[in-house]
Amino acid sequence: MRYSSLLISAIFFIWFSGCTTQGRLTYLTFEKSYNYQKLNSSMEKLKNQYDSSIQHQYSALREIRYISKHMKEPGKREMALSALTFFTFMSDDGDIRDRSLSRLNTVLDEPEWPKHLKFTIIDSIVDLVAGSLGFQEKHDGMMMVFGVEPDIREDALLFLLNKFEGLEPELQYHTVSALRRLLLTEPSLGNCPENICDEDIRKNQEEWDLGVEIKVAIPDNADPKAVEAGAYGPLTKREPLEEREEWNEEMDELKLVVWEWIEDALDDQDVPYLIQGRLIRFAGEIELFSLQEEKSNEFIEQVSEWAENEDISVDLRKLLGASREKVKIYGFPSTKSPQLSEKAYAGIINRPTDFLETHIDAILHQQLERQKSGFDPGKPDAIGLAFTSFDESDEGDLRREIILENVTTALQKGLLGNITYITERVLKSIDNTRSDTDLVPLLNLVGALYPSLKAQNRNPRPLFETLLEKAEAAEKLSERRLYLNAILDGAGVFPEEANLILASASDQDVVTSHQINSVIQKLDETF
């Protein structure tokens, strides 16, 4: 009797396991586990239900929606929303798509949803468009990640661009940063769509990088000795893969969707001036957007149209002119010294915004080159510029953005700055911030200060402790991560000190913990 009961139980368990949907299995995993790898693997399996039966798609959608809204663990909700973003645009069922879009709209529009989840949707959409958010398939024992087809990417991109006007300023700011990341994304084998790069293409990275090898056409009447002597050149040559060229073109078309949309945001009076200024300064990076000369010209032609659009404010058009002028004079990033005397830019902090945009990159480039040559970098003091107090005005916010961004980039390239009383200066600047929009560029700057601390034999612990205290006190997860990321930026320079400070931090959500552990693991492998 007992044997029979056990047998029946075993049969029931096998039957139940076979009938349980992936949606249910993923939900149970998210209920019980806090292991990021297990959670991620289970959610990836759930994502792949996008092309299953309608029943299984509904099951997947139901569980994803539930996890994203009701799980107490914020990282688990975040993982579910990223999967939901993928599911929304990949499902071919209209009802499922409508339900998914409804949830994305709710998260972005309703104030009760945490800001980090709103950021997750924005980042996930851009990741989908850029190709880093895709789906996994195993071919010949090899797990491959495929990007989604270009028309699906465009649908996702248009959804985000259409939402932009109604987003609150901090979300608009985050969106602009994400769009810049998209514009600078290089087409690669890793982000190539499934319909262009199949599994056979993905197996051969060398052909993607170097091109396919073909025989050189040699005339039938060619002298064999001349051929052997190399008169007709190499017997074979490499030509770019057709798939690579096709993907370059498709990626550029997606970027041009963004580029054409920007003009609407520039003449929209409801878009904050800082946001418009950030968008228009993209013009200084046009040459970095495309690998194709013809497409690069299309970007440049669009800028010419902006310059003639009288619906765009005069100040913005002046900034546009300055952004293009710096490329014309210095290149971008700058390869030349400033065409000014030191006296002309000694008081740069007080010069007009368009002057800053034109010259500050070249000024900082010159300082870096002088430093490399063993000379004093000279004036202005880059760190001093970054910690200047700016007017609380639209113009002041944009000037602060330009200076912080350029100084941060210069520090990342190797410029060393004066870090006297740096912890006190950082703390004062943090206390003076009014929003995450102010905090983001400031903490990016802080993350670039560590090589200067190292070069001057300064202990990073006071700065680490200040950042950790701010992280622990932060009420919003999005803000806490900004501080933790500023600590992680220093881990490569001060691995032991960063490891110790992070070990004393309170427990984090599964996504943040995974990020921290990944950095620490890489450091352990390196050292």
Q: Give the mean model confidence (pLDDT) for residues 374-392.
A: 89
Q: Report the C-alpha gap between 271 and 265 in whole angstroms.
A: 7
The predicted pLDDT at position 139 comes to 81
The predicted pLDDT at position 15 comes to 39
| Long-range CB contacts for residues 306-309, cutoff 8 Å, separation at least 24 | 306/262, 306/263, 306/266, 306/280, 309/263, 309/266, 309/267
pLDDT at 18 over 70: no
Q: Give the mean model confidence (pLDDT) for residues 66-74.
A: 96
Residue with tokens 């990020």: 515
Would you say 126 and 171 are in contact if contact means Cβ atoms under 8 Å apart? no
- Name the pLDDT band for 314 (thresholds 50, 70, 90): very high
User: Which DSSP category does 384 fall into?
Assistant: H
- Phi and psi angles of residue 203, each rounded to the nearest 5 degrees, phi first: -75, -15
The predicted pLDDT at position 32 comes to 95
> Cα–Cα distances in Å, from 46 out to 82, 131, 133, 194, 509?
12, 19, 14, 19, 21
| pLDDT tens-digit map of 250-291 | 999 999 999 999 999 999 989 999 999 999 999 999 999 998
- Phi and psi angles of residue 326, each rounded to the nearest 5 degrees, phi first: -65, -35
- Name the pLDDT band for 10 (thresholds 50, 70, 90): very low
Comparing 80-89, 222-231, 396-405, which segment has the lowest mean pLDDT? 222-231
Q: Report the C-alpha gap between 262 and 285 in whole angstroms.
A: 14
- What is the rounded average pLDDT for all residues in the chain? 90
Q: Give the mean model confidence (pLDDT) for residues 29-40.
A: 96
Highest mean pLDDT among 230-239, 278-287, 289-298: 278-287
Would you say 481 and 174 are in contact if contact means Cβ atoms under 8 Å apart? no
- Name the pLDDT band for 227 (thresholds 50, 70, 90): low
Q: What are the tokens at 302?
A: 């669009």
- Name the pLDDT band for 12 (thresholds 50, 70, 90): very low
| H helix intervals, 91-203 | 94-109, 115-130, 150-163, 169-183, 199-202
Q: Report the C-alpha gap between 344 and 359 in whole angstroms.
A: 11
The predicted pLDDT at position 233 comes to 66
pLDDT at 148 over 60: yes
Length of the chain: 527
In percent, the amount of the chain with pLDDT more than 70 equals 94
- 309 Cβ partners below 8 Å, 6+ apart? 263, 266, 267, 317
* Single-letter residue type at 427: L
Instruction: Tell which wins on pLDDT, 191 or 237.
Output: 191
Instruction: Tell which wins on pLDDT, 234 or 387.
Output: 387
- Residue 140 CA from chain centroid, whole number: 32
Residue with tokens 């200066």: 425
Q: Give the mean model confidence (pLDDT) for residues 435-445.
A: 94
How do 236-239 and 135-139 pair as beta strands?
unpaired
- Name the pLDDT band for 16 (thresholds 50, 70, 90): very low
pLDDT at 214 over 90: no
Instruction: Tell which wins on pLDDT, 150 or 231.
Output: 150
| pLDDT tens-digit map of 84-111 | 999 999 988 899 999 999 999 999 999 9
pLDDT at 358 over 90: yes
Q: Give the mean model confidence (pLDDT) for residues 508-515.
A: 95
Would you say 156 and 129 are in contact if contact means Cβ atoms under 8 Å apart? yes
